[in-house]
Structures are given as structure tokens and as C-alpha cells.
Amino acid sequence: EQSLYHGTSEESVSNINQGGFNRSYCGKNATAYGDGVYFAKSASYSAQATYSPADTQGNKYIYQARVIVGEYTPGKHGMKEPPAKNPVNAVVRYDSVVDKMNNPTIFVVFHDNDAYPEYLIVFK
């Protein structure tokens, strides 16, 4: 489990607060590493305007989330789930995917229950 950050819009806050992260809405900003929910190690990354657009009062929104990253592997565009750990036994899969194996900064999870929106951070 890691504490990671997820930027969002004001419009998405109530949905995340009520139902958690939902990968049905993925792809709004990026899918470079797969069609899951994206989290960053750095709050400043998630605070970028692309991921956390300011509302009409200039407020921005990011979540600090508890994310079960488990065993991970590099992700790629188009992934609907993590790849199998062993191609011969496709039942056992990685838990998440990342941007790079050496010191990853982006994590993508494909199961909505793998991330808990612990804190909503509102700032200008």
C-alpha cells in the first residue's frame, strides 16, 4: 500500500466521495499506461491543470489516496487489466502497472477497490 495522489475536477468530487474511484471514467486525461485509475507519487504532478483544473473560484482538487499497488510491471496504452505474471498461467496477474520500473512515479490500478480516497485537498 502506498499513499499517492489523484487530481480531479470539481465536478468529479461528489462522485468520488460517494463511490470511490471508478475506472469507468478513465481516459478523461490520459491512458498512456492503460485504462485504469491513475495515481502519482508527487502531489505537484496531480495538481497540474491537466489533471486538476481550477473551478470558477480558482480552487483545485486532488485526493491523497491509499492505493494497493502490490506487484507491478510497466503499463502500456490499451491495457484493460494488468498482464499475466506468467504467460503460461494467465490467471495470476500483476496488481498494477507503472510508468517505469526503476523508481516509478505513476501507478495505474484496474480494480476500483484497490484505492481509497483518504483526503480531499482543496487549494488555489
In this prediction, residue 90 has a pLDDT band, given cuts at 50, 70 and 90, of confident
Which pTM value belongs to this model? 0.92
Nearest to 122 by CA among 38, 36, 47, 28: 47
> How far is 26 from 74, CA to CA, in rounded Å?
18
Question: pLDDT tens digit string along 53-87?
Answer: 999 999 999 999 999 999 999 999 999 999 999 98
| Ordered domains of the chain (ranges, CATH) | 2-123 (3.90.228.10)
